């Protein structure tokens, strides 16, 4: 098994959403990975516990990563790298909200170097990362590259661990879990959840709600096989173990007017904040699916809250 750092505060809370369950006529639970204890919380911390352990093991003193201008992954990389005494360089796409708001404020607080790259292609950004790393190497540094979203097989192992944690929490709660649902943005979280459900909760079905249009039906299993290989457990798939449903609206990172009432409802009934880019789309997509009968007739539902609240300070709900 790969080395892992302890960066978050785990286990994160898991509990039933009583008001929402009563309203929708189905038991709906939440796994609060937004409360994982680093910055404003979020799913990237579980991935970074593995990725930054590897950076350390390789003797790197600098971490590069990338994402959109308001990337939660980039911000959490900055937060975790700072704690480990690693220099953090963020090459962010010059797209979306590039004013000094939301996660860009937090990146500065955590002392990351932010550079905007005017491109739509991550390949251009990875080429720039290579170039900057070579420069740093000549000055005696060693850089570790984390791809967008931290979605590598190693990062995904963090979400297999999350399912193990859920499986350990369930007996205390009396949940009869049938489904796990979460946002899919670059695929690593859903991939880890797939490995984890097959291994620790094999009767549970997994639904990824795509908030971008990438072909996650292929990306998720590919990452999942890689993660299972690293865990040395293999991945035995069965029909119906995983479905992808897309709820993108007008595009990635564009708030969707249909989601606003669902975001407000969860805030007002349960006190929980969702963001308009990831969790708001996933939550609203999940409830629509439930109402259409797309989450089967039986079994409790668990929504994995993956964080993202900083977006609420960078953009308005639609």
Ligand X SMILES: Cc1ncc(COP(=O)(O)O)c(C=O)c1O
Q: Of 21-29, 98-106, 177-185, 243-251, which segment contacts ligand X by CB under 6 A? A: 177-185
Question: Does 287 participate in binding ligand X (rule CB under 6 A)?
Answer: no
Residue positions counted in the chain:
318
In this complex, which beta carbon is closest to ligand X, that of residue 143 or of residue 191? Answer: 191
Of 186, 197, 205, 284, the residue at the interface with ligand X (CB under 6 A) is 186
Count of residues interacting with ligand X (CB under 6 A) = 19
For residues 187-206, which are near ligand X according to CB under 6 A? Answer: 187-190
Question: Does 8 participate in binding ligand X (rule CB under 6 A)?
Answer: no
For residues 104-133, which are near ligand X according to CB under 6 A? Answer: none
Q: Of 114-122, 130-138, 186-194, 245-253, which segment contacts ligand X by CB under 6 A? A: 186-194
Active site residue 71: yes
Give the DSSP letter of residue 13.
P
Sign of the torsion angle spanned by Cα atoms 144, 308, 277, 285: positive
Question: Does 184 participate in binding ligand X (rule CB under 6 A)?
Answer: yes
> In sequence order, what are the residues at sequence separation of 6 or more whose Cβ sits closer than 8 angstroms to the Cβ of residue 273?
34, 267, 309, 312
Question: Does 183 participate in binding ligand X (rule CB under 6 A)?
Answer: yes
> What is the smallest separation between the CB atom of 121 and ligand X, expressed in angstroms?
18
Q: Contact at 8 Å (CB) between 256 and 284?
A: yes
Question: Does 147 participate in binding ligand X (rule CB under 6 A)?
Answer: no
Question: Does 151 participate in binding ligand X (rule CB under 6 A)?
Answer: yes
First to last CA, the chain: 44
Q: Of 14-22, 57-65, 125-133, 185-193, which segment contacts ligand X by CB under 6 A? A: 185-193
Where helices occur in the chain by DSSP H, the ranges are 18-24, 44-57, 72-83, 103-109, 122-138, 153-173, 188-200, 216-231, 260-270, 279-291
Establish how many alpha carbons lie within 13 A of residue 64's alpha carbon, considering only the half-sphere containing its beta carbon. 21
> In sequence order, what are the residues at sequence separation of 6 or more whose Cβ sits closer than 8 angstroms to the Cβ of residue 205?
178, 179, 180, 197, 240, 241, 242, 243, 296, 299
Phi, psi of 208 (to 5 degrees): -100, 135
Of 181, 308, 314, 315, the residue at the interface with ligand X (CB under 6 A) is 308
Q: Of 105-113, 184-192, 225-233, 295-303, which segment contacts ligand X by CB under 6 A? A: 184-192
Question: Does 210 participate in binding ligand X (rule CB under 6 A)?
Answer: no
Question: Does 66 participate in binding ligand X (rule CB under 6 A)?
Answer: no
Question: Does 207 participate in binding ligand X (rule CB under 6 A)?
Answer: no
Phi, psi of 80 (to 5 degrees): -70, -40
**Tokens describing residue 171:** 């007996």
Of 17, 26, 27, 43, the residue at the interface with ligand X (CB under 6 A) is 43
Pairing type for strands 242-246 and 205-210 reads parallel
Q: Contact at 8 Å (CB) between 165 and 7?
A: no
Q: Of 79-87, 170-178, 235-243, 303-311, which segment contacts ligand X by CB under 6 A? A: 303-311
Of 96, 153, 185, 255, the residue at the interface with ligand X (CB under 6 A) is 185
Alpha carbon distances (Å) from 152 to 68, 171, 263: 18, 31, 30
Question: Does 306 participate in binding ligand X (rule CB under 6 A)?
Answer: yes
In this complex, which beta carbon is closest to ligand X, that of residue 153 or of residue 187? Answer: 187
In this complex, which beta carbon is closest to ligand X, that of residue 172 or of residue 316? Answer: 316
Instruction: Enumerate the active-site residues.
Output: 71
Contact residues: ligand X, CB under 6 A:
42-43, 72-73, 149, 151, 183-190, 278-279, 306-308
């Amino acid at each position: 098994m790969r080395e892992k750092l302890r960066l978050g505060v785990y286990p994160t809370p898991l509990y039933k959403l009583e008001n929402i369950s009563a309203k929708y006529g189905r038991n709906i639970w939440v796994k609060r990975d937004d409360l994982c204890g680093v910055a404003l919380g979020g799913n990237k911390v579980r991935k970074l516990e593995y990725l930054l352990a590897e950076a350390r093991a390789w003797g790197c003193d600098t971490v590069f990563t990338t994402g959109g201008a308001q990337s939660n992954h980039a911000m959490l990389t900055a937060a975790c790298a700072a704690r480990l005494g690693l220099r953090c360089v963020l090459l962010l796409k010059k797209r979306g909200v590039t004013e000094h708001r939301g996660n860009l404020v937090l990146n500065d607080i955590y002392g990351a170097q932010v550079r905007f790259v005017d491109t739509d292609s991550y390949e251009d950004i990875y080429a720039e990362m290579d170039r900057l790393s070579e420069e740093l190497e000549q000055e005696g540094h060693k850089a570790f590259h984390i791809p967008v979203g931290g979605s590598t097989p190693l990062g995904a192992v963090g979400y297999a661990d999350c399912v193990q944690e859920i499986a350990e929490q369930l007996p205390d709660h009396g949940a009869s879990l049938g489904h796990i649902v979460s946002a899919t943005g670059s695929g690593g979280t859903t991939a880890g959840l797939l490995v984890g459900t097959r291994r620790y909760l094999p009767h549970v079905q997994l639904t990824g709600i795509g908030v971008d249009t990438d072909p996650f039906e292929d990306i998720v299993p590919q990452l999942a096989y890689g993660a299972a290989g690293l865990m040395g457990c293999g991945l035995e798939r069965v029909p119906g173990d995983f479905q992808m449903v897309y709820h993108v609206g007008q595009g990635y990172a564009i708030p969707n007017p249909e989601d606003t009432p669902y975001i407000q409802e969860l805030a007002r009934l349960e006190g929980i904040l969702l963001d308009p880019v990831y969790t708001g789309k996933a939550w609203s997509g999940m409830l629509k699916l439930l109402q259409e009968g797309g989450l089967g007739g039986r079994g409790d539902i668990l929504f994995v809250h993956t964080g993202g609240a900083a977006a609420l300070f960078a953009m308005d709900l639609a």
